[in-house]
Structure 1
Amino acid sequence: MSELTQVLGRIERAADGVAVVFERQYATGRDDLWQACTDPGRLVRWFAPVSGELRPGGEFTIHFGDGDTPLCRVVSCDAPERLVWEWPIGDVATLVTAEIAADADGSRLVLRHARLTPGQVAGYAAGWDAYVRSLDAHVDGTEPPDWEAMWTALQARYAEAVHER
């Protein structure tokens, strides 16, 4: 399987919906990875422009290039280890958790997007997968992959995975 279509995440079913989960190791310290995941100046380099307050009870807006601008709410923030926020998708407040821990080779990120419907899983899994790959490049100082091409290839693979279950 080519790198372009090899999925990095897994799909988990729960009582409150479906979650996509990504676990990645980075050759950088925990504090640097935390900054990459929470500092608006760094988020824009691999994720999207973010404005607002990334603090407990704070609200922030993600400004995606396609005009989507979800207003999210921070549920909890335990720097530099855990950030949890609600991301409204339709009438549902989906839940995103980013956990960062030091490990022997640098640091580890566990990213979980929960409360998705089965119909949303393939698109959001492909999106997060493409963003995680962009974060890899950001941390490594290399050129990020083409997000649109990556999303398109991965969305088809995640759609297959959802139907196989």
Structure 2
Amino acid sequence: MKDVLDELAAARRTMGRGSLPAGDAYTIEVRRQYEASIDEVWDAVTNPERLRRWLRPVTGDLRLGGRYEFDGGEHGEILGCEPPRRLKVSWLYGPEADAWPGTSEVEVRLAPGPGDATEFELVHAAIVTEPLFPTYGPGSGGVGWDLALLALARLLTGDETADHHAVQESPEGREFIRRSAAAWGEAHRAAGGEPEHVAAAVEATTKFYAPDPS
């Protein structure tokens, strides 16, 4: 359990506002350091064979301007690619004509850290409507990214069986989810969220990702 919670504590989480072509957006940002070279981290976030181990299987034209699709239904276009420092994609859900939540983009930024480490930053900007933000707050996407980045950390330490879905279903995964939801609640509060709204959002997010097994 300690290594799982250490990974949770390794990240810094913030919530803010940004803009997308379709209008104003909420942003969730995760920053942390990985004890791996920038080329190694870049390969892990762009190589389909490694992506499938910590995120999901992906198909498509994986070049700048190409379109991709994950087996969970997320899909979009590769908007920016500057190896080994920056990757930006549109991130949509469901049939393209009915894209939910309307407009969403994910950007990963990498920079060399001390020694052989890499500074990692993920920014997810989305225009969200009911019931997502009002009900779940930033944890609606933040907990999912925390789970995925835990699996990425394991992959980068040589665990080729890393899988955030398996983690999510384990007892330690449930505790990770509970603490992740609380951490995103703190980010929400720091961004000006009303305490009652934050508390309700944390509870709803926890129940969504880790429903009562009974």
State the TM-score, normalizing by the size of structure 1: 0.82
Q: Which residue of 2 aligns with 1:14?
A: 17
Shift of 1:19: 1.1
Structure 1 partner of 2:156: 139
CA displacement, residues 104-159 of structure 1 (integer Å, 9 cap, x when unaligned): 23211111111253346212100001111111110012474613435742464256
Identity fraction in percent? 24
1: CA distance, partners of 2:118 / 2:188:
33
Partner of 2:118: 107
The higher relative CO (CA closer than 8 Å, separation ≥ 6) is in 1
Secondary structure of the corresponding residue to residue 56 of structure 2: coil
Question: 1:97 and 2:110 equivalent?
Answer: no
Count of aligned positions: 160
Structure 2 residue matching 1:55: 3-state secondary structure? coil
The correspondence for 1:161, drawn from 186, 193, 196, is 186
Among 33, 38, 45, the alignment partner of 1:37 is 45
Which structure 2 segments of 5+ residues have no match? 19-23, 94-99, 194-214
- Residues in 1 aligned to 2:14 and 2:118: alpha-carbon distance in whole angstroms: 23
CA contact (8 A) 2:146 2:180 kept: no
Distance 1:132 1:62 in 2: 16
Deviations 1:70-117 (A, max 9, x none): 221111111111000001241522110011111223211111111253
Within a 5 Å distance, the mapping from 1:47-58 to structure 2 comes to 47-58=55-66
**C-alpha displacement of 1:27:** 1.6
8 Å CA contact 2:8, 2:146 repeated in 1: no
Q: Is the 8 A contact 2:14 2:30 kept in 1?
A: no
The 1:160/1:108 distance shift into structure 2, 3 A limit, reads: closer
The structure number with the bigger radius of gyration is: 2
Compute the RMSD of aligned alpha carbons: 2.6
Q: Distance in 1 between matches of 2:48 and 2:183?
A: 29
Normalised TM-score (structure 2): 0.65
The change in CA–CA distance for 1:109 and 1:156 in structure 2 (over 3 A counts) is closer
Out of 139-148 and 154-163, give the one that drifted further.
154-163
Determine if the alignment matches structure 1 residue 24 to structure 2 residue 45: no
- In structure 1, the residue matched to 2:86 is 82
C-alpha change, 1:55 and 1:12, in structure 2 (3 Å) is same
User: Which structure features the higher share of strand residues?
Assistant: 1
Query: Mind listing any 5+ residue stretches in structure 1 that lack a counterpart?
Result: none
Pick closer, same or farther for the CA change 1:99–1:5 going to 2, 3 Å: closer
Give the secondary-structure state (helix, strand or coil) at the position aligned to 1:88: coil
More helix by share: 2
Q: What is the DSSP-based 3-state SS (H/G/I as helix, E as strand, rest coil) of the residue aligned with 2:87?
A: strand
Decide whether aligned partners of structure 1 residues 76 and 159 sit closer, same or farther in structure 2, where only a CA change above 3 A counts: closer
How big is the shift at 1:12? 2.2
